[in-house]
Amino acid sequence: MKFSVGVFALGVSFAAIGGGRPENSGFTSSASVTSSGTYQVTSAATDAVVSGTISGDVSITVADGCRVTLSDATISGTLAIEGDAELWLSGANSISASAESAVTCSGSLTLCGTGTLAAESAGAKKTGVIAVSGDFTLAGGSTDIVIAGSVKNACGVSVGGDYVQQAGLLAVVSEQTVKQNGVFLATKKTSATISGGTLDVTLAGEKAVGFAMDKATTSATMTGGVLRFAMTGDGAKGVKGDGSFAMSGGIIEAELSGGVVEDYFEYEDADEVTWNYYVTLTSSTKTSVNSYATTKLISSGTYPVMDPSKCYAVKVGTLDISGGTVRARATGTAGRGLGADSMTISGGYFDIAVSGGPTDVYVESLVDADDDAFDPSAVTTCLDSGGAACLKTSGTNSVLSITGGTFELLATGDAGKLINAAGYLVIGTEGSSTSPGDTTFSPYIQGRALGEKVYCTAIKQKNYGSLATAVATTDISSVSCSVAADAIVTASGDDVDYSNPKGLKGYSGVAMHGGKIAVYTANDGGEGFESKNDLSISGGVLELVCADDCINSGGDLYIDGGYIYAGSTGNDAIDSNGSIYMTGGLVLAFTSTTPETGIDTDNSSGLVVDGGTLVSFGSAAGNMVVGSSGSLKTYKNTGSLSSSTYAGKYLKMTGGSKTVYVKVPSVSSSTSLSLVCTTDGCTSSAPSVSAASSASGTSAGFHGVYFK
């Protein structure tokens, strides 16, 4: 409220403000505000200084660019600024308001100075403790904001225009358990520019957001500064928006400990509806819906399917990172590091660890679609909505491209993934040259996926429909949209679906052109490098030691170059559900498990070798490559070799243009092994293969390989 004590004119005519940053602006006159009331500053050269203990609201109408200084001021009320202004902090200041906001500005506000401000208010929906109608610039000072009320969607700072972070500290804290935001950009076609300073947000609320960009047209650019988030609520996110986020410098740090929000409790609120579709299921129906999923229906009924809210350090529409540092820890169920519809990373340092397991989202069978009462007894099955992931894209036709940067990734929870692309996954730059002896790699991805396989009653894929495209059919195969095709409801026993821990995974396809990938998995199902469709490797260095397949291609596998070490402790080293076409590169594929093999293909064309060097060891009882063809002659042995002949020694191949020595690890406890090998230049006859206790020639710098 404004006190009716009259309007006090504080302005006088002086020269205009000096240029430069707010800290350097030269004010030539000041007027004192020591009590509540309504004031007017008529000259931009006047500094309105608010000081002392003030009980009540202070309202100041300013000339454009005027500075309002808080100088050791304690205000029990609201500070309202009408117009564009600088809010300068000097000394220790506090504002505590029982109203929605502690500070309001009807224009644009620049927060600067060398002092401190402690601001607290109850907040309101989409309204900040500091509420700015225009642009907001953080240019100095140290400001601590407390959201004291349990108001849903209240904010630390709400911004109606652009957000600019240059210097200073802005800290937002709330212990409330409802959804609240640290900084909230509420208007379409606005932007955030972060070049310095620190935003430090600590929130406890469910689905809370540290830095929220509300509209898809909102974009953010980060070239410096720090964004730091500590979020303990389920479904919380550090940075969230449907628009774009570009980062070329600065630091993002996020600690996320919450789990998943199951949204069926909230669909009475129109703003929170996340029902995706209704579909009628019929028992005993099994239909192939795409190249990597089948639909298995176990009971009839109408099922509303929800989209759960998970924790993310960053979750935006488009993410583009060319530099800077990202450190993230997500310990709750299905917690994730970086997420976007599409993602491009060309530089930066990434230290991301996730430790939560997968989430089960229960599906309620409703007789009446309008029935909003949750009945636990009506739950018929559940949908596994995915596990934790360090990097995750959700656009099925998008590209997750990583051409630079250094990655240290860790997933310890069951079914956890290091990198999980719903669309295409591309590593390295096409045409780049990478060798094992390089001192730097672009990109360099190293990670461990230590979780175990999880069996679940159902899996839900992406590409959701909406309630408007409800399905009224009992035959799921006749549905033309992606609604029903992405619901997989399974039975029990051998038909139970499962979710595996993985290193790097792409649904639509995977290509590696350069850089280095080093991945370790520890448990059954832990694959290293997987594509649900074709997979191609044209360059780079891969070092994969996995409990399951090191490389798995849902379609054909193309190897045109690169250095590949694939060592499996529990399955095939390299497995293709199509053919394997090799025209170059150096491939070492070993398995220590019976009856698995180093190289396994499913198509009749099998292995086609027209270049490169390949050595593959496996069990004699395994499914060795179906066929072997190409311009190079390939040696195949299906079980007459003794494991002691080569284990720990060198395999020597001659017959091509070069003699190749390969140090063979201890590959099996079996008494007989299967071997596939070929070497570049071997065109007239199969290579001669023997064991040697030592090697000579030039070291390839890659796992004991020498060329002579």
pLDDT at 456: 47
| Cβ proximity of 209 and 182 under 8 Å | yes
- The DSSP letter of residue 148 is -
Tell me the β-bridge partners of 164: 137, 193
Residues 6+ apart with CB under 8 A from 529: 503, 504, 510, 512, 517, 519, 535, 542, 544, 550, 551, 552
pLDDT score of 675 = 86
| CA–CA distance, 35 with 28 (Å, rounded to integer) | 23
| Cα angle, residue 403 at apex, residues 398 and 404 outer, rounded to 5° | 135
Residue that is written with structure tokens 């396989």 in the block? 453
Q: What is the reported pLDDT for 46?
A: 81
What is residue 360's predicted lDDT score, i.e. its pLDDT?
53
Instruction: Name the strand (E) or helix (H) holding 482.
Output: helix 482-485
Angstrom distance (rounded) from CA 300 to CA 430: 49
Question: How many whole angstroms separate alpha carbon 647 and alpha carbon 651?
Answer: 9
- What value, to the nearest 5°, has the Cα angle with vertex 282 and ends 281 and 283? 125
Would you say 511 and 432 are in contact if contact means Cβ atoms under 8 Å apart? no
Structural contact between residues 259 and 356, judged by C-beta atoms closer than 8 angstroms: yes
What local confidence, expressed as pLDDT, does residue 275 receive? 31
Alpha carbons 94 and 89: distance in angstroms, whole number: 10
**Secondary structure, 3-state, 165-195:** EEEEEEEEEECCCCCCEEEEECCCCCEEEEC
What DSSP designation does 292 have?
A: T
- Burial (CB count within 10 angstroms: exposed 0-12, middle 13-18, buried 19+), residue 493: exposed
Cα 594 to Cα 667: distance, rounded to the nearest angstrom: 10
Please state, in angstroms and rounded to a whole number, the distance separating the CA atoms of residues 151 and 123. 6
What H or E segment, with its residue span, contains residue 320?
A: strand 312-321
Averaged pLDDT in 10-residue chunks for the chain of 708 residues: 37 33 48 94 85 97 89 98 96 95 97 97 94 97 97 96 97 96 92 98 97 87 98 97 96 96 44 32 29 31 54 97 98 95 97 86 36 38 64 91 98 94 95 93 98 59 29 32 34 49 94 98 94 96 96 96 94 91 95 82 80 87 65 84 83 90 76 83 89 94 94
| Contact (Cβ atoms closer than 8 angstroms) between residue 426 and residue 511 | yes
CB 652 within 8 A of CB 628: no
- For 631-696, the DSSP string reads SS--EEEEEEEEHHHHTTSEEEEESSSS-EEEEPP---SSSEEEEEEE-TT--SSPPEEEEESS--
Judging by DSSP bridges, how do beta strands 705-707 and 698-699 pair with one another? antiparallel
Q: Where are the beta strands (DSSP E) in 371-453?
A: 379-384, 389-393, 399-411, 417-421, 424-427, 444-449
Sign of CA dihedral 555, 557, 558, 563: positive
Q: What is the pLDDT of residue 570?
A: 87
Q: What is the CA radius of gyration of the chain?
A: 31
Q: Give the whole-angstrom CA distance, residue 605 versus residue 616.
A: 18
Q: Which helix (H) or strand (E) holds 530?
A: strand 527-531
Structure tokens at 89: 């902090």
Check if the beta carbon of residue 158 is closer than 8 Å to that of residue 128: yes
pTM, entire model = 0.85
In angstroms, the first-to-last Cα distance of the chain is 88
The answer to whether 135 touches 112, Cβ cutoff 8 Å, is: no
The C-alpha atoms of residue 336 and residue 390 are separated, in whole angstroms, by: 5
